[in-house]
Structure 1
Amino acid sequence: MPAQPSGSDAAVDAIDRSFHAALARFTGGISPAALALAFADWQLHLLASPGKQASLAGRAIQNASDLVDAMVPRHAIFQPWSVIRPPENDRRFTGSDWELPSFNLLAQAFLLTQQWWHSTTIGIHGLAHSNAAIADFALRQCLDTVAPTNFAISNPEVLRKIMETGGGNFVYGLHNFAEDWQALLAGARLRSDQTYVAGKDVAITPGKVVYRNELIELIQYSPTTPTVRPEPVLIVPAWIMKYYILDLSPRNSLVRYLVESGFTVFMISWKNPTPEYRNFSLEDYREFGVDAAIAAINSLRPGQAIHAAGYCLGGTLLSIAAARLARERPDCLRTATLLAAQTDFTEAGELTLFINESQVSFLEDMMWRQGLLGTAQMAGAFQMLRTNDLLWSRVVRDYLVGERAAPSELMSWNADATRMPYQMHSDYLRRLFLNNDLAEGRYQVNGRPVALSDLHMPMFVVGMLRDHVAPWKSTYKINFLADADITYVLTSGGHNAGIVAPPSEEGHSYQVLARKAHDPYLGPDEWIKRAPSHEGSWWTEWTRFLAAHSGQPVPASLPAGAAEKSAPLDDAPGSYVLEQ
């Protein structure tokens, strides 16, 4: 048995953790040691690679020569983007003004610089891939701050606005800046993020809270059809954000679509934890979250198997709960649906860049001091992943152009963040991201490891083509982890916009291909070549899947409380979703 730390050791540990927590306030939660180690590894290997240095010097000379050639076009006809074009996902330089010679050459010079610095972090023998990725990410963040789009004098859209308004755009921009600064000082949401209010503009599908404990409220939505499928649908959203991403306004509500398609829908609404919840673990979230919701539904619908669906972290937690139920109660779940949910974290996107021992320990010390991970730290982490879309484009629009972006349900929801308890987030980072315990069969529930290979119920899995949080190839890995019939869908869009894809809205598309449990494994690159493409929303594909695995419709019934079918506790959306 390991020796218990002495009182002096505990005091030393407390001093160090307090120092790290204070330091984290100035670094945005990023470990300086992790960043320094990555840059040291990159620089030392680059210094020891004279061939790579010569190649970089040659590329720099070639880039300069190409740019000079573009400045002096042949036949006096300027060709925009003759040297380099913006990547498909870079929307900074869209618009005809960026094809004017002076602005176009400036944009190309920036893109060449960005490309050159990226090349300095790849193809270096001996450099750890993780450290190369961290260095590349950090360099990109630095370069993004000096992009020509971020300055009035080099942004044609801003210059055009100055001419149109006589400089009035700066007055409006200053007003927007002052308004936002006051809101930040007061700890409130920005005015532009308060447009859509839960229970008033979004999360308005009628229903009742039929069960509540210290961690969740369980909402049952009222039927709109005379008959419903006998198997209820339970949706487990991520607790990192409010559940109503799946119940926005009526035209964008997945919940409403399911109800109108003849399904009885239950939704978990997570409590927004306070520091008193610091010791709630990931296992507590499973026990008082998914397991408690299933038990409540079982008491309301005895004998009926459940269609369980999980989004993002909720899907990961559902996978854990389903693996345990598959071993102990194999008939409990009729199907399992995973929406942008990862079960193997070896290729979990740019979020893994800073998931190493140094970074996780640093975050743990920060959360240890606070008791939780605050909304500001979480929002900052996601902004770093998409600074062009979530930060710089907003700065330019609000403060330089002087115009607020059009109200958006998704942006309003995105700003309505939640906190996460210290112990739960530590478990999540260490057991799943850092150690990959779930995929490798080490994750324990009630003292026994669970295995995803125990999942035998039909599964419907959705990945998003442009998902930066849960890359689709990562979500696809369930195909070789579970022993089940799996229908995999790859839909257009990103992590959130790909989920909110109502059939009434144009521009959505998806690929789908199903495989039986005994079929040979098909890799993701081969899958995307074989899977047929369809125009429209994946929502229709999911309802067909659910209907195919459901019984014949039965008369619909109104929501009732789970405690011996008592009266409901509250109207939807309940009280937990309104907590700030």
Structure 2
Amino acid sequence: MTGGLSPATMMLAATDWAIHLATAPGKQMQLAAKAMGKSMRLFDYALRASHELGGPTGTAEPACPVVAPLAQDHRFDAPEWHQAPYNVMTQAFLLNQQWWQAATTGIGGVSRHHEDMVSFAARQILDVMAPTNFIATNPVLQKRIAETGGKCLADGLGFFLDDLRRELTGAAPAGTERFVVGENIATAKGTVVYRNRLIELIQYAPRTETVRPEPVLIVPAWIMKYYILDLSATNSLVNWLTGQGYTVFMISWHNPSGEDRELTLDDYRRMGPMAALDAVEAITGAEKIHAAGYCLGGTLLSITAAAMAGEGDTRLASVTLLAAQTEFSEPGELGLFIDESQLHVLENMMWSRGYLESGQMGGAFQILRSNDLIWSHVLETYLMGERAPINDLMAWNADGTRMPFAMHSEYLRALFLHDDLAEGRFRVDGRVISLEALRAPMFVVGTERDHVAPWHSVYKIHLLSSAEVTFVLTSGGHNAGIVSEPGHPRRHFRIATRAEDAPPIAAEEWVERATPMGGSWWTQWGAWLDARSGEPVPPPMIGNAARGYPPLCPAPGRYVLEK
């Protein structure tokens, strides 16, 4: 009934805020003064707007807005919103939004976590009540209804009923049927060369006559299917890497069921990247391997690399982390969903089935960007009657995976809640590991609008390891910032390298020093890998039956097709 949110946490947060606000007369007076001031500003604006509305055509100057929307808020961009009386409604909403931000923050005695939760909840309620969501207060929607004679509402109702049917039956979202794994997405030519209970390992066919002697092993996140890094042929990171002369291996994770409830985070390490490294070494004979991890896969790779370094295992030529956190003290708004009470609810939900459904985690991500992912969809699809065409990235986003009970609980508690990896308490095989042991050069990518792994959090790898770190801050969000192929329009990034053992600098200072560049960061990564790779050699065979790794089946394999 609560969508996985803990009622106890929500009530505690609201009570904490309400009691401390009720006993803060100074804050109350400040809020009363703000309310009065904003009311007067709105009244003055309404008078000027009414003059604009009532004056002779072409004689009235447009009323100058009192407050502008936030930079990322594009709900009121259409010119109709700047005409009376809708401009007054817009200003009333934005001023109200500002007041509630002041009312839910800066109250002494309220814990930071509870303050964030109350402020977040207030924004969600305001987003529900935004004038864009109602026919009577949305001039753009009114215009659309008039132009279509109301047909847009009928079409929207049809879309709503279709989406409801799909939700109730567990069917894929509309439009995803146009994207078929192995046919027009996840099409890079390759072969599954290893399989265990948890992973399939795909070796991709070479696209150049010679390859670098150091292969690239990619560890994707297990929360979603691997093929975000092999979408369409034009935006496939796999295709691009093989085209640059690298032998590429990719882990494809098994989609857990109730039988996998006891799989732990260490099982994922052993049967995931460690098993894959052994296979890559046996197949290629390479002494050094470039390893890259995306999102949770990058977090797991960092744990694996630290454990290897502590054991004297030097097989990693480099470590690349793509939108991956290693320090969780500032996880962004996703931290709103993680505390002891929330984990208690999640663990009980997972206990009965042995896993967490992908839709539950996906729902949390949608709430974080409710304007973009929920209310804009409701407006455009169900009221405007326009279903936006789905693209390959959206189809991938709808193809989620489950997470086993033991692993997910351990990940949330040990890493996300208690930050054990960064604070020197995380153990592998009974031994505490430290990212300080890492000496392989690192290439780390954060994205400007990441709501899953905020770039300030990703940047903290500088504080945890003294290795050489080349950090990139790229445009885009958690997914689109990584799938940023050369030639993609309007892409830009900043890049700078901190030398080994050099002292770290603050993230804001890094932004000032880093070199801004246009285009895709992929080309910089390619040059970085080239500088740390040997001279090209003939490509290795696909699989190696003599060493226990025979070719099993063509890519994309079986695990990626599991539902």
Deviations 1:501-556 (A, max 9, x none): 11111210000000112222211010001111000000001001100000000012
Letter in 2 for 1:365: N
Q: Give the whole-Å Cα distance in 2 for the aligned partners of 1:525 and 1:510.
A: 15
TM-score, L = length of structure 1: 0.94
Corresponding residue for 2:23? 48
| 1:252-271 matches, cutoff 5 A | 252-271=235-254
Measured in 1, the distance between the counterparts of 2:138 and 2:218 equals: 45
Partner Cα separation in structure 2 for residue 473 and residue 112 of structure 1:
29
2:51 pairs with 1:68: no
Amino acid in structure 1 at the alignment position of 2:40: S
* Residue correspondences, number: 555
In structure 1, the partner of 2:9 is 34
Contact 1:86 1:111 in 2 (8 A): yes
TM-score, normalised to structure 2's length? 0.96
Q: Which residue of the other structure, out of 195, 214, 234, is the alignment partner of 1:212? A: 195
Task: Tell me if structure 1 keeps the 8 A contact 2:466–2:502.
Answer: no
1:3 match? none
Q: Give the Cα–Cα distance (whole angstroms) in 1 for the partners of residues 179 and 42 of structure 2.
A: 47
| Alignment partner, residue 56 of structure 2 | none
| Alignment partner, residue 355 of structure 2 | 372
CA distance in 1, matches of 2:158, 2:64: 36
Given the alignment, which residue of 136, 139, 161 partners 2:119? 136
Q: Which amino acid aligns with 1:94?
A: D
Match of 1:226 in 2: 209
State the partner residue of 2:268: 285
| Alignment check: 8 A CA contact 1:209 1:561 kept | no
In structure 1, the gaps of 5 or more residues are 1-25
Cα deviation 1:77-136 (Å, max 9, x = unaligned):
454661111111112222222222222221221111111111112221121111100100
Deviation digits for residues 366-414 of structure 1 (CA, Å, limit 9, x no counterpart): 1111211012211211111111111111111111011111221111111
Distance in 2 separating the partners of 1:87 and 1:364:
37
Is 1:556 the counterpart of 2:556 in the alignment? no
Task: Quote the Cα distance in structure 2 between the aligned partners of 1:260 and 1:529.
Answer: 34
CA distance in 1, matches of 2:410, 2:442: 26
Give 1:537's aligned residue: 520
Q: Relative to structure 1, is the Cα distance of residues 159 and 282 closer, same or farther in structure 2, using a 3 angstrom cutoff?
A: same
| In structure 2, distance between residues paired with 1:180 and 1:558 | 47
Give the 4+ runs in structure 1 shifted more than 6 A. Answer: none
The offset of 1:194, in angstroms, is: 3.3
Provide the residue aligned with 1:345 in structure 2: 328
Name 1:108's counterpart in structure 2.
Answer: 91
Q: Which residue of 2 aligns with 1:316?
A: 299
Separation in 2, partners of 1:81, 1:29: 44
Contact 1:81–1:104 (8 Å) recurs in 2: no
Q: Aligned partners of 2:63 and 2:538: how far apart in 1?
A: 64
**Cα displacement string for residues 54-81 of structure 1 (whole angstroms, at most 9, x for unaligned residues):** 1111111111111111122288445466
**Deviation larger for 325-334 or 56-65:** 325-334
Distance 1:112 1:553 in 2: 62
| 183-192 or 419-428, which deviates more | 183-192
Matched, 1:175 2:150: no
* Mapped pair 1:413 → 2:396: yes
Alpha-carbon distance change, 563 to 120 in structure 1, aligned in 2, over 3 angstroms? farther
Distance 1:432 1:231 in 2: 31
For residue 445 of structure 2, give the secondary structure of its aligned residue in structure 1.
strand
Say if 1:306 and 1:335, in contact at 8 Å, map to a contact too. yes
Structure 1 position 565, deviation (Å): 5.5
Distance 1:197 1:157, change over 3 A: farther
What is the deviation of 1:192? Answer: 3.0
Q: In the alignment, is the contact (CA less than 8 A) between 2:223 and 2:400 conserved in 1?
A: yes
Pairwise mapping of residues 76-91 of structure 1 onto structure 2 (< 5 A)? 76=52, 77-79=60-62, 82-91=65-74
The answer to whether the aligner puts 1:429 opposite 2:412 as a matched pair is yes
The CA deviation string for residues 134-166 of structure 1, in whole angstroms up to 9 with x for no partner, is: 100111111111111111222222212111110
TM superposition shift of 1:561: 4.6
Letter in 2 for 1:276: E
Which range is displaced more, 537-546 or 349-358?
Answer: 349-358
Which of the residues 384, 397, 400 maps onto 2:367? 384
Does residue 499 (structure 1) correspond to residue 499 (structure 2)? The answer is no
**Which residues in structure 2 correspond to 1:8-27 (within 5 Å)?**
26-27=1-2
Q: Is the 8 A contact 1:46 1:53 kept in 2?
A: yes
- Superposed, which structure 2 residues align to 1:397-476 within 5 Å? 397-476=380-459
State how far apart, in whole Å, the 1-side matches of 2:245 and 2:161 are.
49
Deviates more, 1:150-159 or 1:56-65: 150-159
For 1:55, the aligned partner's letter is Q
Q: Aligned partners of 2:453, 2:243: CA distance in 1, in Å?
A: 29
Identity over the aligned pairs, expressed in percent?
A: 52
Q: 1:370 and 1:240 mapped to 2: Cα distance?
A: 17
Aligned counterpart, 2:230: 247
